[in-house]
Amino acid sequence: MKKSSHILSVIGLGYVGLPLAIELSKEFIVIGYDNNLNRITSLKNLQDNNFEVSSSKIKKTINKTFFPTINFKEINKSDVIIITLPTPINKKNKPNIKKLKIVTEKIAKNIIKNKLIIYESTFYPGLIKTEFVPIFKKYNLTLNKDYSLGYSPERINPGDKKNNITSIKKIISASNKKSLKVMKEIYGSFVKPGLFVADSIEIAEAAKVIENTQRDLNIALINEFAKIFERMDISTSKVLEAAGTKWNFLKFQPGLVGGHCIGVDPYYLSFKAEKLGYKPKLILAGREINNNMHKFVFNKFKKILDHINKDLRSSNILLLGATFKENCPDTRNSQVFKLIETLKKKKTKLSVFDPYIKNNQDKVFKSYNQIKNSKFDLIAIIVPHTHFKTNKFFFINKLLKKDGAVFDFKNLFPKDNYYKI
């Protein structure tokens, strides 16, 4: 018997929605909606193609307390609706909330009154109030009378099995005290470190967007250090190792910043700031540095090949990893693809292998069987998947030419004498 009579709906069963739905279904009845039929079919077959939730975990609750569906009308059976859709940007780096507005409109149009709608997506401060409340108003629904709103920003880290949805403190906020009490019951059922109650929805929105903006800027600073030290012929990794011996030095590494959060959220905040007449120079400078880091990596390739007396165009190059981060199949906004396009334009003999990417139509992507008998002049470990570390012999020792070089971009093998940043 469940501890609560609440019936919940989770809209969007992706990297955020599915882990959330599974945890909630341990204590509540959960209806999981996704408009992707293949996704629903996979889940009913106990498969999460994002590798975030195991088959055994899905099996414990599916068709018992967790009911995935493609039928949007099913959500009317719930009294709490949680929306976990992504908030991407467009080609001009402006917020794209089209999907969220469509879902909000569908809820407002078909809603049975007195539901609590909770958003988990990342916004700029005030977006719920200015963009979503008017949609409900259009259907003659009054906030805190006909419906209530909550905001609890997701803090999931795809591929991270340690810092998962149950082990990260959760921020919650709501439009009234009654809804806040419900949110405490819902999220308190599985978040072990506890909840932080923000004073308002706007404060919670702001807190989330600056979390990722701060991280983006920290990485941008390290990336800029790397560009400077490369010109000085100084090892950035060695500099960071030395500087890291001080207690208050923040330990970040150079990287290709991608994904659905860190490379996106700063644009949401800067968009709102510019609407208010303030141009956020530092935030946008950080974005420019990180957006162009693939050029630095490309130039590093050329420098390494020059050092071993090889030509870029005639060299066989293998990139290991193309997802936006390690141990995760997510390729959204992966900057590795910019690097791939740069190498293709230079007519290089390029192969790309990533154990998490299946059926990519680009001919440069190869299976291990396609590369296992090849020899490469340069092997570049771009994304530090654990798979590469545990199978070092197969990916490096076996595939590298005797006079070839290895570029360990993320320092996956700190003790090996490979080329590093």
- DSSP 8-state secondary structure symbol assigned to residue 377: E
The set of catalytic residues is 261
Question: Looking at residues 112-133, what average pLDDT do you find?
Answer: 94
CA–CA distance, 198 with 234 (Å, rounded to integer): 45
Residue type, 338: K
- Give the whole-number percent of the chain exceeding pLDDT 90: 87
- State the pLDDT at residue 161: 77
pLDDT at 1: 40
Cα separation, 332 vs 303, in Å, equals 29
What pLDDT is attached to residue 305? 96
Q: pLDDT exceeding 70 applies to what percent of the chain? A: 99
Position 3 pLDDT exceeds 60:
no
Taking the mean position of all CA atoms in its chain, how far away is CA 414?
Answer: 26
pLDDT surpasses 60 at 77: yes
Q: In what order do the strands lie in the sheet with 400-408?
A: 349-353, 316-320, 376-381, 400-408
What pLDDT score does 163 carry?
81
- Which ranges in 249-408 belong to alpha helices (H)? 265-275, 281-291, 293-307, 336-345, 368-371, 386-390, 392
pLDDT for 129 equals: 96
Which whole-number Å values give the CA distances from 112 to 28, 77, 92, 200, in the listed order? 20, 9, 38, 25
Q: What is the pLDDT of residues 83-98, one digit of tens each?
A: 999 999 999 999 999 9
User: In order of start, what are the domains of the chain with their CATH numbers?
Assistant: 7-198 (3.40.50.720), 200-291 (1.10.1040), 293-421 (3.40.50.720)
pLDDT tens column, 300-330: 999 999 999 999 999 999 999 999 999 999 9
> Is 307 exposed, middle or buried (CB count within 10 Å of its CB: 0-12, 13-18, 19+)?
exposed
Burial class from Cβ neighbours inside 10 Å (0-12, 13-18, 19+) for residue 117 reads: buried
pLDDT tens digits, residue range 131-178?
Answer: 999 999 999 999 999 999 999 999 888 777 788 899 999 999 999 999
Is the pLDDT reported for residue 395 higher than 50? yes
Answer whether residue 384 shows pLDDT above 90.
Answer: yes
Mean pLDDT of the residues in the chain? 93
Please tell me the predicted confidence (pLDDT) of residue 292.
96
281-291 and 265-275 helices cross at what angle (nearest 10)?
A: 150
